[in-house]
Amino acid sequence: MSNPYLSVVIPSYNEMANLQKGVLEKIAHYLQKQKYSYEILVVDDGSTDGSIEFVEDFISDHDNFVFIKNSHLGKVGAVTAGMLKAKGEYRLFTDMDQATPIEEIDSLLLYAKDFSIVIGSRNSHRKGAPFTRQIMANGMIMLRTILVGIKEIKDTQCGFKLFKDDAAIKLFSKVKEIHNGFKEISGSNVTAGFDVELLLLAQKWGYKIKEVPVSWLYVETRRVSPIKDSIEGVLALLGIKLNSLKGRYK
């Protein structure tokens, strides 16, 4: 069988609540109706809530799924593993909560032939997001612009990004190299720096990037901590600035 047209990479860390809502079934059902070939890669990040067994049972009755079991390296490690394992001509990473639904892939694919990278954008409106989250988002945009740049992109953080295969291989291989293959962590870890670093690297290497408006709905999660996440976000941006000054993105 030839390589699929589209690979969908979904990181998973203790996602039982979302899995029980039937998100994998919804994604599979939508893609089954498309004319192109596809694969869905679920990358577990060392879950301990029974979601590993759930996914294994699910994919035993569903075609076109690939299950990757990682040690707990954080979302960056999980997404990177999936994007490098994927075989699709185009490779999308998206979140298990489907805050941006899989149907929005149609909007991104419209630009795939003309751009190496097509990213979903929520712009400044975050539907359903509490006021504290909107303040955090706007603050990160200001700091990102001051410390890192990337002025042309309004929303670097939307977890819905599509890459041409060659761009995905080169960029994610470099991210893995920069982070020395990633280290095991404890607890949840969703760093704001991941998307910024990836897009900064893409810009420095001359890849054409298209930002496309997508539907997005805030999904409540106990993993969000405004103060902790804000501090970690600032530290991540400072780390990227330091790496840039050291020439690590050349």
Closest CA to 207 of 168, 242, 244: 168
The predicted-structure confidence for 159-208, as pLDDT tens digits, reads as follows 999 999 999 999 999 999 998 888 888 766 556 689 999 999 999 999 99
What per-residue string of b and e applies to 143-169 under the rule 16 or more CB within 10 Å gives b? bbeeebbbeebebbbbbbbbbbbebbe
**6-245: CATH architecture:** Alpha-Beta Complex (3.90)
Checking if the pLDDT of 113 tops 60, the result is yes
Q: Say whether pLDDT at 138 is over 70.
A: no
pLDDT of the residue at 202: 95
What is the rounded CA–CA span in Å between residue 197 and residue 99? 22
Instruction: Give the pLDDT score at 125.
Output: 52
Question: What are the structure tokens assigned to 173, written together?
Answer: 């291989």
- CA gap 214, 216 in Å, rounded: 6
DSSP tag of 103:
G
Residue for token pair 């890669």: 41
The structure's pTM equals: 0.88
Would you say residue 93 has pLDDT above 60?
yes
Q: Residues 6 or more apart from 15 whose CB is under 8 A from it?
A: 47, 49, 51, 96, 97
Determine contact, residues 192/229, Cβ cutoff 8 Å: yes
Helix intervals (H) in the chain: 16-19, 23-32, 51-59, 75-85, 105-109, 131-147, 165-178, 193-204, 226-245
